Amino acid sequence: MRGATKDAMLAYMHHDDTENYFFYTDLRAFGRGFDEYIKRGEKEYGITNIRSRPGEITEDPDTKNLYVWYHDTEGGGVKKMEVDMVVLSTAFIPPKGVRDLAGTLGVEMDEYGSFKSGDDLLAPMDTNVPGLYIAGACSRPMDVTDAVTQGGGAADRAVRAVREFAGKTTANAGSGK
């Protein structure tokens, strides 16, 4: 939702007569400052978030405008809104085959179908398999900046593990083991 909010803000900056409506089922904060960012979009850029369950999009044959039909889960009832354009921002779903990959690697998965990571504060890149690290959206939905930062951390952990292994191998070679 943060990415869609950012895109709506940019559209508004270029065309301040733009109206943006987000139909959502569930809003979850996945990053630092997420809630504030969404509120800023509402306050400064006129973004309207509608808690709902969109059901259908139809086209007016004369105007070619679109109608979004939705169930208003807060106010109740089925409603429709005429719009010029619809952008679908899909939910995060782990790709097919991820369970097979997890089985092959021996990595535990969480209830959402993502690789299970270690402690969020102390070991967010660790898996249950020593020396196997994860980063970004394979562990949970997250912002691009967080994923890039975590990717750098995972790479660092992997390099340290390789150096440690190489050091043990070198030490063992010199001792005749």
Write the CATH number for 124.
3.50.50.60
When divided into structural domains, the chain yields a total of: 2
Q: What is residue 129's predicted lDDT score, i.e. its pLDDT?
A: 94
Q: How confident is the model at residue 36 (pLDDT cuts 50, 70, 90)?
A: confident
Domain housing 61: 2-83
48 and 113 part of one domain: no
Q: Which of 155, 98, 108 is nearest to 118 (CA)?
A: 108
105 and 77 part of one domain: no
Comparing 4-8, 85-89, 114-118, the range with the smallest average pLDDT is 85-89
Task: Tell which of 83, 107, 137 closes a domain.
Answer: 83
20 and 69 part of one domain: yes
53 and 114 part of one domain: no
Task: Tell which of 35, 57, 83 closes a domain.
Answer: 83
Comparing 31-40, 65-74, 77-86, 153-162, the range with the smallest average pLDDT is 31-40
6 and 78 part of one domain: yes
Q: What is residue 29's predicted lDDT score, i.e. its pLDDT?
A: 56
109 and 76 part of one domain: no
pLDDT at position 119 over 80:
yes
Average pLDDT over residues 7-31: 81
Strands (E), the chain: 21-24, 48-59, 66-72, 78-83
Separation CA 154–CA 148 (nearest Å): 10
pLDDT at position 168 over 80:
no
Q: What is residue 23's predicted lDDT score, i.e. its pLDDT?
A: 86
16 and 46 part of one domain: yes
For the chain, give the mean pLDDT.
86
Separation CA 38–CA 31 (nearest Å): 12
Q: How confident is the model at residue 57 (pLDDT cuts 50, 70, 90)?
A: very high
Q: How far is CA 160 from CA 135, 164, 165, in A?
A: 16, 6, 9
| 33: its two tokens | 């400052």
Q: What is the pTM of this model?
A: 0.54
